[in-house]
Copies of this chain bind each other. A is one copy, B any other.
Amino acid sequence: MGEIVFVGLGLHDDLGINLRGLEEIRKANYVFIELYTSLLPGFSFKRFEGLCAKKLRMVSRKMLEEENGNAIIEAAEKGKVVFLVPGDPLIATTHVALRIEAEKRGVKTRIVHGTSILSAAIGLSGLHNYKFGKSVTIPFPENPSETPYNVISQNRRLGLHTLCLLDINAQEKRYMKISEALHILLKNEEKLKKQIVTSETLAVGIARAGSSNPTVKADRIKELARYDFGDPPHMLVFPGELHFMEAEALIVLAGAPEDVRRHVV
């Protein structure tokens, strides 16, 4: 009986994997990879396969979600499996389900954590990590939801920041942009009228976290909505109350207007 080691690929490209992950790949009998839960824009399957000197088997959403990762578990019954996943591997709930299923079938599992978009976005924003409330994903308009608006609202009431991931559809190569996300939230505002996301609201847009050329820009939504953030992935942070050091960080590191200091309490 083998094992499954979930290995995080980290962010952006082939260089996001850490040394412990590479060591696990070297010792593996089977290496699976999925690239649909997050976008790694600079990642090359071929180049990474060369770097690892191992054959990589691509895992589809169908294999994981409809077939419960059966192919991976069966391989682990014969030998050591590494399963490569963007970011930090157990952040996607679908992989937690695979891990539970494997353990129930007697297959041991381990994790080699990777860099996650969650901590990267917090770090890039310059805001303090212990002041973030619940995070949320803004879904595409075909799956309309008031949840993101309500999460921002609830966090704001508590003085907390909100991290918003933006929806992706890897199969169709659709990655929500900041302007789209803002448009969706402004539509919610029109309906819910709680003065939570208006054209005057301060937000921070982050593009290509983890790459060598991320864009981080803090401004009022009316300005952010027409700002060119460049290629995806994009995400958004809605600040709550600011510590004076956080206001300073937004001004110096994210080009926020000086009057963000009015959010300091």
Contact = CB atoms under 8 A, between A and B. Distances in A.
A10 interface: yes
A149 to B, nearest CB: 15
Interface string A228-253: 00000000000000000100110011
Number of copies: 2
A53 interface: no
A210 B10 contact: no
Contact of A89 (B10, B123, B154, B212): B123
Contact of A126 (B96, B131, B154): B96
A18 B100 contact: no
Contacts of A89: 123
Contact size class for A? 35 or more
Given A17-B18, A18-B10, A100-B253, A114 B115 contact: yes
Given A15-B20, A118-B119, A253-B100, A111 B124 contact: yes
> Which 10 pairs from chain A and chain B are nearest by CB?
A90-B123, A116-B119, A15-B20, A88-B119, A15-B19, A113-B120, A18-B18, A113-B115, A100-B252, A118-B119
29 contacts: A15-B19, A18-B18, A18-B19, A18-B114, A88-B115, A88-B120, A88-B123, A91-B119, A96-B126, A99-B126, A99-B249, A99-B253, A100-B126, A100-B248, A100-B249, A100-B252, A103-B253, A111-B120, A111-B124, A113-B115, A113-B123, A114-B115, A115-B115, A115-B116, A116-B118, A118-B122, A130-B134, A130-B135, A134-B160
